Chains A and B, each alone.
Chain A
């Protein structure tokens, strides 16, 4: 039943539908989901919209690789990663990660691992809009440190 669903798309996603898709196997006792949203501030300034650019082809390949790495670490059943691209306004959903497993610890850890790796390995770039002004979001050291902590086995 083990299944990966990796999607990069412009349209919004439907969380209940995505949840239902990974909640079909009664051998799974745990489902953990994460949704990333467009928030109204970054580094102390107001944000009005967000545009996501990506590298078609490489993005999907990297998401598949990090999913495979998560499966090597934890016994997972379903893994879903959906990442939107294009322009989104405040409050809109950007990314969905959902994993199912027999036990909660694997599901929690894998979900966190996937978002930490996605943020530092997958070729997506954020362009913030502040009214008519646009500015590219800088990579954060804290995100890189979170990914490195997994690589050091902590």
Chain B
């Protein structure tokens, strides 16, 4: 399983903090996972296709070329605004 987390606007717009996916070839990279989730419906497509979307794999900031494997935690979120 791949645990997918959403934070801030992304979580709010999608209406869920997380989902779980079966690992597989169609989600073998962060880009593929994003495309797979965006294919759910129009709302998910709009939210996940934001050009400001960031991705972390196993709690480390990553990019759209990273591998995604069974057991990974992948998080999607907007640019950070703490401090």
Is B8 in contact with A125, judged by CB distance below 8 angstroms?
A: yes
Q: How many residues of A contact B (CB 8 A)?
A: 29
**Residues in B whose Cβ lies below 8 Å from that of A62:** 61
Is B82 in contact with A61, judged by CB distance below 8 angstroms?
A: no
Give the docked Cα–Cα distance between A121 and B83 (Å). Answer: 10
**Residues in B whose Cβ lies below 8 Å from that of A54:** 82
Known A-B contacts A55-B56, A58-B75, A123-B56; the reply to A136 vs B80 at CB < 8 A is: no
Is A52 in contact with B82, judged by CB distance below 8 angstroms?
A: yes
Is B80 in contact with A139, judged by CB distance below 8 angstroms?
A: yes
The reply to whether the CB of A120 lies closer than 8 angstroms to some CB of chain B is yes
The reply to whether the CB of A88 lies closer than 8 angstroms to some CB of chain B is no
Closest-by-CB residue of B relative to A65 is B60
Q: Which of B7, B12, B52, B80 is within 8 Å of A122, CB to CB?
A: B80
